[in-house]
Structure 1
Amino acid sequence: MPELKYLAGYDAHLLDQVRAMIHSDRLGPWLRERYEQPHDVRNDGALYQYVVGLKDRHMRKAPPLDKVVFDNRLQVVRHALGTHTSISRVQGARLKASREIRIAGVFRDAPQPFLRMIVVHELAHLRESAHNRAFYQLCAHMEPDYHQLEFDMRLYLTQLEIDRRKQLPPIADP
């Protein structure tokens, strides 16, 4: 039975249900049925347009983004889902801020709702740096199913790890 490292902190009863699905090989088929649509965001330019579109729809007053990219070097567990960076530099008498979002490369092939969830998560960090109540309220404002999608995305990452161990093809084929 695989370690459920992506689901640490969840209720033991819920984890038992997940283990039962894994044991009976039902997790992968359940995820494929529930999240059958892959997204069409395949490159950094398309990702930038996608993120800016969500930002403009929900956070018009937030500062502009300078860079949005898929980053294959991000470790999903260590960096969780993605990173957001705001760097201030002095250029002469002016202070220049650069804001960027990096999304783990694993989400390039993930189902569309998971990409949206991670983008919403990173956009929320533009306004709220900590994972506090205001942060999660903002996430839920931008994506009403945020909490369910976050849990299901963690199930997806668990299934990807199981598939890698078995050397099976990924859940979502592009």
Structure 2
Amino acid sequence: MTELPYLQGYPDNIRQQVQHLLATGKLAAMLAARYPQNSHNIQTDKALYDYTQQLKRQYMKSSEPISKAVFDPKIHIINNALGTHTQISRVQGGKLKSKNEIRIASQLKQLPLPLLRMVVVHELAHLREKDHNKAFYQLCQYMEPAYHQLEFDLRLYLTWQDSQLVCK
């Protein structure tokens, strides 16, 4: 079976099904049917910040503020992550100031909006839950009820994108 780096934690039968969809050229059609709107207008750091703030206001009003949400071209999707959440602490005068930053891989600008939303929700959840534990995933599902399906679909989408690069 060909390597499927985005699906490494999934059972063999799922990976075999995805491999079959790739081999028969049906994965792209399945994703296109599921996400017919392939583009969105969140293409700038400002638009991403506004979108992130909107979701935060809607679901996480009492959480710490976000100082920055940007697309980061330096994030390598397989080696690093789809996005990162960092809390930067600095001593300023006699006080300790902290900032929360969310960075999303620039490659994800091209995703259908529901998949981008899933990544933003994931990073927002880290404001409250630092680890990927049960409470973290419950919070993700509170903000996005289809969170787990969207995460799997994102992995399928990235797998399909990689297969297109290999074919070129």
Q: Which bracket does the TM-score occupy, shorter chain normalised?
A: over 0.9
Alignment partner, residue 31 of structure 1: 31
Alignment partner, residue 41 of structure 1: 42
Query: Deviations along 1:82-136, whole A, 9 cap, x unmatched?
Result: 0001011111111111110000011111110110000000000000000000000
Alignment partner, residue 121 of structure 1: 122
d(CA) in 1 for partners of 2:34 and 2:6?
19
Give SS of 2:10's match. coil
RMSD of aligned residue pairs (Cα, Å): 0.9
Alignment partner, residue 11 of structure 2: 11
Q: TM-score, normalised by structure 2?
A: 0.96
Query: Deviations along 1:65-86, whole A, 9 cap, x unmatched?
Result: 1111001110101222100010
- How many residues align? The count is 167
Preserved CA contact (<8 Å) 1:81 1:118: yes
d(CA) in 2 for partners of 1:147 and 1:33?
18
d(CA) in 2 for partners of 1:48 and 1:154?
24
Give SS of 1:116's match. helix
d(CA) in 2 for partners of 1:114 and 1:39?
11
Q: Return 5+ residue gaps in structure 1 as ranges.
A: 168-174
d(CA) in 1 for partners of 2:9 and 2:45?
33
d(CA) in 1 for partners of 2:104 and 2:90?
23
Alignment partner, residue 113 of structure 2: 112
d(CA) in 2 for partners of 1:120 and 1:163?
27
- State how 1:21-170 maps to structure 2 within 5 Å: 21-37=21-37, 38-167=39-168
Amino acid at match of 1:136: Y
d(CA) in 2 for partners of 1:165 and 1:33?
23
Amino acid at match of 1:50: Y
Give SS of 1:130's match. coil
Give SS of 2:74's match. coil
Give SS of 1:144's match. coil
Give SS of 2:126's match. helix
Identity %: 51
Preserved CA contact (<8 Å) 1:2 1:162: no
User: What displacement does 1:41 show?
Assistant: 0.3
* Runs of 4+ deviating beyond 3 Å: none
User: What displacement does 1:2 show?
Assistant: 3.8
Name the structure, 1 or 2, with higher relative contact order (CA <8 Å, separation 6+): 1
Amino acid at match of 2:6: Y
